[in-house]
Structure 1
Amino acid sequence: MADNQGVSAFPLPPMQYVNNYSDDNIKRNKAPQPPPPPVQDKYQMFGQTFTADDAIIRPLEASGVRRLYPQAYDHKRELKKLNHSILINFLDLIDILIRAPDSPKRAEKLEDLNLLFINMHHLINEYRPHQARETLRVMMEEQKKQRNEISDKFQSNLDHVTQVIDSAVRAIPEDLNLDSKLLVESKLLQEAAAIKEEPMEDDHIDSLDQMMCKIVDEMT
């Protein structure tokens, strides 16, 4: 879909975007719209303000959340500890709801659970770059496997075609000389045609008849 100037109104895949930026399309004003300029200052996303220099995964302190694990930590160990803490606090919350639903401790437990979930979510998000690398690695291995299968199939077809061609070449007889009888017949016919083209005189009629009779006898 395009507007009045022929410029695409929808984003294009990267390679298609590049291919459409030909000299002819630029002259005819049919090239895609240029991409937006990179963000230099601040931008809003999900209701929060970010800057271009921010880390991909911002620390908890940047969001005003208290950290429940040390600066140097083992992800696996800390996630297990947070998971156990969430389970214990959830059981405590159930006990409070059973014994004293109106107790102020209920709100405290909810706040504790909220803080535990935020810390766990942050630790999980720190695995996102690793997950992206692993996903890319798996995709590249799958592409490599598919290309190897295509290459093996092409090589198999090439070997089969080569065998068929070799068999056809070996089946061709080495002696391609024509039958001698056919060569004799052709030569006799050519001699007869040459005799017919020559001007015939009366004294040559008998010799021509004899020649024609000889040709017919030899052919039969």
Structure 2
Amino acid sequence: MALPPETTATSTFPLPPSQYNNYTDVNQKCGKWPKPPPPIHSQYTMFGNHFNPDDPIIKPLETQAIRRLYPQNFDHRRELKKLNHSILVNFLDLLDILIKCPDSAKRTDKIEDINMLFINMHHLINEFRPHQARETVRVMLEMQKRHRHTVSERLERQEEEVRKLVREALSSLPENLDLDSKLLVPSPDELELRPGHDRLAAQQQDKCSSLDRLMCSIVDAL
């Protein structure tokens, strides 16, 4: 089995089997891993065919020296159906030739006709590739949008349920709630209004004053 010719473009790919060992996190931080190949700006050869970066993605049949079997302005669906019918008819004709006269030269001509029909049909299908790519991206975006809307709706429902639980908890509380006074922390204003607060403050002040006097006496004795 003959292998296809190698690509003659100036690039470092394909990599050897051991080349992937150079792409490690340590080499990335040190900047030692191989750099990607530069973009190709000139003509290059791949699988025996010549390519130019400025060429369109879908080349016209005329640039490939292939006869066009459909007009310039056409409907893709209609022409694909016509080509499909032509392939079926020519295939039946080929079967008839193989049955009646297999050594006839018409067999080679009919095979070439079928080959040309398939090339034109394949070219029409390839012209749908950009549309297919755009449609795929559109479907992906629609799926992401639908998923985000679903997550947003779930979050809104959860928020509404939490708000409902909080409202029910607040409504179930009695209006005149008698809480245990031991659990309440008195405010400074309440402490000032309590009886005995002045006496406690005076005792703390006297205690501080006695300590101050003791320190003063110790300093004087030194």
TM-score bin, normalised by smaller chain: 0.5 to 0.7
1:123-162 equivalence runs, <5 A: 123-162=124-163
Alignment of 1:102-141 (within 5 A): 102-141=103-142
CA RMSD of aligned residues (A): 2.9
In the alignment, the residues of structure 1 paired with residue 80 and residue 64 of structure 2 have an alpha-carbon distance, to the nearest angstrom, of 20
Q: Quick one: which amino acid aligns to residue 22 of structure 2? A: D
- Aligned positions of 1:38-187 closer than 5 A: 38-178=39-179
Distance between the aligned counterparts of 1:119 and 1:49, measured in 2? 21
Query: Are the counterparts in 2 of residues 69 and 78 from structure 1 also a CA contact under 8 Å?
Result: yes
Contact 1:5 1:30 (8 Å CA) reproduced: no
Task: Flag the structure with more relative contact order, 1 or 2, with Cα contacts below 8 A and sequence separation at least 6.
Answer: 2
Q: How big is the shift at 1:31? A: 8.7
SS of corresponding position for 2:62:
helix
2:101 & 2:35 partners in 1: Cα distance? 63
TM-score by structure 2 length? 0.65
* Percent sequence identity over aligned pairs: 54
Structure 2: distance between partners of 1:5 and 1:138:
36
Q: 1:158 to 1:31 in 2, by over 3 A?
A: farther
TM-score, length of structure 1 as denominator length: 0.66
- For residue 3 of structure 1, the aligned residue among 10, 13, 22 is 22
Segments of 5+ residues of structure 1 without an aligned counterpart are: 9-24, 181-190, 195-220
The one-character-per-residue Cα deviations of 1:62-117 (angstroms, maximum 9, x if unpaired) are 22211111222221221122112111111110010000111111111100100000
CA contact (8 A) 1:7 1:33 kept: no
Matched residues in 2 for 1:42 and 1:155: separation? 57
